Structure 1
Amino acid sequence: MSETTTAAELLPVGSDDYSRAALFLYREAQLLDDARFEDWLETLHDELVYEMPVRQSVMPKDGTGFVDGMTFLTETRNSLLTRVRRLQTEQAWAEQPGSRTRHLVANVLVERGAAEGELNVTSAFLVTRTRADLPYDFFSGERRDVLARDGERLLLKRRQILFDQTVMKSYNLSIFL
């Protein structure tokens, strides 16, 4: 979704594509909160790009503060598969014992994508994490997704996570946003 998107270009709430996109996001949140990572992997497109650019605090005249070419993480479907496989071992020390998360998704906006069968979706997110006796973590921001049709289902083809925070005060980022 670009900054020049008009309300007329957005799909109306309740339309078939809007509902399918929103349901995709809500189902994904449930899969992640239930630690059903194998099922979550099935929702990812083979060409997935999953990235979270670094943010700096800047004056409004200097832009949004997201640094080109610098990311907290840049993942593919294969690298996420490797992370999930590692979580299934005793070697994932950052997740022993496992985190308990809650993914909240709101402010969902949907428009038709550039390619046939794609939807551009923006949403606000709040993810909470608690683990053992460590302090509660809160992660918030905006996600910009591209969902691609694969027959009757949608797959996540691209996700850009735009963090609200400029400094991540969490001990680690071993969960999926």
Structure 2
Amino acid sequence: MTSTSVPSNTENLQPAEGGHDIRKVTPTRGYELDDEKLTFLSAARAFLDHESTLLDSPKRLWEWFDLLSADFYYHIPVRISRERRSRLGEFSEHGYHMLETLESIRLRIERLDTEHAWAEEPPSRLRRVISGVEVLEQRSSTDYLVASSFLLFRGRGSLDSDLLAGQRQDLLHVENGRILLGGRTVLLEHTVIPTANLGVFL
């Protein structure tokens, strides 16, 4: 049997061509454990979990509306398939599935309370999973840009059902010990929307 010796240290290890040199360990490697960041991240996850519960319950949309700030925006840009070499982004800067404000959101919820909301009659059965919550940027002492991935099941009638997937980039405001949703940009994975309409909130 042939034995293989294992170096006791990494001094003589050479990186393969094009590989990463494991001898070079810098303080920037790894995930930084910052107490303030982790405290807010925990609060952001709790907020998004609570928000998901409200969004999945058609009768609780006004409770969700109370989580929105006065300058709230809701954007869903159109995704475009491009070649890998393209210098253009994956999302249109001019085309949107949704481009809404707090006032237009209020009008949508009011309409859902009437008998004229044909797109949601009967109401969709919703269940979403939120994961990958990450603080992308702290813009001020009270404003944070937070990303989260989502998978949304939407059931209609007895047979129809859809799955929507994507990432949400949320602007979260912290005011007087409370979190408000200042804005949401939804980056869908789909170039063609796999559902009849976007009559539900993502």
Fold in common (TM above 0.5): yes
Unpaired runs of at least 5, structure 2: 1-28
1:66–1:16 distance in 2 versus 1, CA, 3 Å: same
TM-score when normalising by structure 2: 0.79
The CA RMSD over aligned residues, in Å, is 2.1
**Identity, % of aligned pairs?**
35
Match of 1:59 in 2: 83
Alignment counterpart, residue 18 of structure 1, candidates 18, 41, 47: 41
- Rounded to whole Å, the distance in 2 between the matches of 1:10 and 1:104 is 26
Instruction: Give the structure 2 partner of residue 40 of structure 1.
Output: 64
Residue 10 to residue 29, structure 1, CA distance change in 2 (3 Å): farther
- Distance of 2:161 and 2:112 partners within structure 1: 21
Tell me how far 1:70 sits from its aligned partner: 1.2
Residue 113 of structure 1 deviates from its aligned partner by 2.1
Who is 1:127 aligned against? Answer: 152
- Deviant stretches of 4+, over 4 Å: 6-14
Letter in 2 for 1:32: L
Contact in 1 for aligned 2:163/2:194 (Cα 8 Å): no
Bigger Rg over Cα: 2
Match of 2:25 in 1: none
C-alpha distance after superposition, 1:101-126 (max 9, x if no partner): 01210011015521221111101111
Aligned residue pairs total: 172
Please tell me whether residue 110 in structure 1 is matched to residue 130 in structure 2: no
Cα deviations by residue, 1:26-65 (Å, 9 ceiling, x for unpaired): 1010001122100000010110111000011111222442
Per residue, is there more strand in 1 or in 2? 1
What SS does the aligned partner of 1:38 have? helix
- CA deviations over 1:78-104 (Å, ceiling 9, x no partner): 111110000000000111110110121
Residue 105 of structure 2 is matched in structure 1 by 80
The residue type equivalent to 1:24 in the other structure is F
